[in-house]
């Protein structure tokens, strides 16, 4: 039977939860007002095979079974994102549907990222814009390596390898996301040595030599700001930095911190309430 994860929150936390769930449950959540109790109810409609244990572990709440008639109104649909002329991102796990996509989009790499409790299924504004920038960077470079900070599902690291990166390394500090990313790497026929996923806290990171041609960092602004000097130390002189996860009201502060660390942004894209930027 279909299930839904539920939790009551205070009205003043609505914006926080909206941002959080845009990341964790893209397109599968609703927030409704309970006027009598002066509370809000958060509901995340769970994908098949997801029992909500990760959500409960992180945030508490509870899981209930939905009646069939309620499930019919849940706004779930497979994710389909086309990135330039190079990539097609989908969340479908159905082999027939995947085969159809390969038929419809010949010459494009198909990236399959099931919707799970890890950030980066491809249709979130930040991830999609990072992917577009990554395709552009791949066209500009013959041989390159990628370090992906806050890798989530591993989508950017996987995309980089499929776009021709010689090696890709994804770092993630969420222990629940690491095995998801590792599984996604193998799903695409890539060896763990080709796309490596490691548990790493960027705030505790002690950078060494300049080793990376491209760094992607789709993280919250405060983490980006704290990490810019470290990125500068490991990005090669002619390297490219792609950053996202920046809310519009945080743009000025975040880009100023990037400039202070020695990064000059070549292009800034604003989609919805999110900002993504890249250097040369």
pLDDT digits (tens, 9 = 90+) for 123-154: 788 999 999 999 999 999 999 999 999 999 99
pLDDT at 196: 96
| Structural domain ending residue among the three candidates 29, 47, 71 | 71
Assign residue 14 the CATH number of its domain. 3.30.70
Q: Which residues lie below 8 Å from residue 220, measured CB to CB, with a gap of 6+?
A: 245
Q: Residue 15, exposed/middle/buried by CB under 10 A (0-12, 13-18, 19+)?
A: exposed
Confidence of residue 259 (pLDDT cuts 50, 70, 90): very high
In a domain, 49, yes or no: yes
- Structural domain contains residue 143: yes
Residue 26 is predicted with a pLDDT of: 62
Count of the separate structural domains present in the chain: 2
pLDDT (tens digit per residue) in 152-195: 999 999 999 999 999 999 999 988 889 999 999 999 999 888 89
**Residue 95, domain member (yes or no):** no
The pTM for the full model equals 0.76
Q: What is the average pLDDT across 76-102? A: 86
pLDDT digits (tens, 9 = 90+) for 234-250: 999 999 999 999 999 99
Residues 51 and 128 placed together within one structural domain of the fold: no
Do 145 and 165 touch, CB atoms closer than 8 A?
yes
Please tell me whether residues 270 and 133 are part of one structural domain.
yes
135 shares a domain with 255: yes
**Same domain (yes/no): 274, 135:** yes
On whether both 130 and 252 belong to a single domain, the answer is yes
128 plus 52 within the same structural domain: no
Residue 90 covered by a domain: no
Tell me, yes or no, whether 51 and 152 share the same domain. Answer: no
Non-local (6+) Cβ contacts of 100 within 8 A are none
Say if residue 40 is in the same domain as residue 135.
no
**156 and 273 share a domain?**
yes
Confidence bin at 15 (pLDDT 50/70/90): confident
Length, in residues, of the chain: 280
- Strand partners of residue 241: 215
Rounded to whole angstroms, how far apart are CA atoms 59 and 23? 14
Instruction: Please report, in angstroms and rounded to a whole number, the separation of the first and last CA atoms in the chain.
Output: 50
Work out the pLDDT band at 48, boundaries 50, 70, 90.
low
- Which of 31, 50, 71 marks a domain boundary? 71
Binned at pLDDT 50, 70 and 90, residue 75 comes out as: very low
Is 272 found in the same domain as 199? Answer: yes
Check whether residue 23 and residue 147 sit in a common domain. no
CATH number (domain holding residue 248):
3.40.50.150
Could you tell me the residue range of the domain that residue 133 belongs to? 122-279
SS3 for 133? helix
220 within domain boundaries: yes
Q: Does residue 101 lie within any of the structural domains?
A: no
3 state DSSP class of 244: strand
Domain assignment of residue 81, yes or no: no
Q: What is the mean pLDDT of residues 16-43?
A: 71
How confident is the model over 75-104, as a mean pLDDT?
85
Q: Is residue 108 part of a domain?
A: no
Contact 229, 261 (CB under 8 A): yes
Do 170 and 275 sit in the same domain of this protein?
yes
pLDDT band at 71 (very low <50, low <70, confident <90, very high): very low
């Amino acid at each position: 039977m279909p299930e839904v994860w539920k939790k009551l929150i205070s009205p003043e936390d609505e914006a926080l939860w909206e941002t959080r769930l845009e990341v964790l449950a893209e397109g599968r959540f609703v927030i409704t007002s309970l006027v009598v109790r002066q509370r809000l109810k958060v509901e995340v409609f769970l994908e098949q095979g997801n029992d909500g244990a990760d959500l409960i572990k992180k945030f508490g709440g509870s899981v209930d079974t939905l009646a069939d008639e309620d499930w019919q109104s849940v706004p779930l649909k497979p994710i389909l994102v086309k990135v330039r002329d190079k990539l097609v991102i989908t969340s479908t796990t159905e082999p027939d549907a995947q085969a159809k996509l390969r038929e419809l989009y010949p010459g494009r790499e198909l990236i399959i990222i099931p919707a799970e409790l890890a950030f980066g299924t491809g249709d979130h504004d930040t991830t999609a814009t990072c992917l577009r920038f990554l395709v552009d960077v791949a066209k500009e470079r013959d041989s390159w390596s990628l370090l992906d900070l806050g890798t989530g599902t591993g989508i950017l690291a996987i995309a980089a390898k499929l776009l021709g990166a010689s090696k890709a390394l994804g770092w993630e500090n969420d222990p629940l996301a690491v095995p998801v990313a590792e599984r996604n790497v193998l799903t695409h026929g890539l060896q763990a040595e080709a796309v490596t996923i490691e548990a790493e806290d960027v705030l505790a990171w002690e950078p060494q030599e300049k080793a990376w041609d491209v760094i992607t960092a789709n993280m919250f602004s405060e983490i980006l700001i704290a990490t810019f000097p470290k990125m500068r130390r490991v990005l090669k002189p002619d390297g490219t930095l792609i950053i996202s996860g920046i809310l519009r009201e945080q743009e000025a502060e975040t880009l100023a911190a990037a400039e202070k660390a020695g990064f000059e942004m070549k292009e800034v894209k604003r989609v919805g309430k999110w900002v993504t930027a890249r250097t040369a």
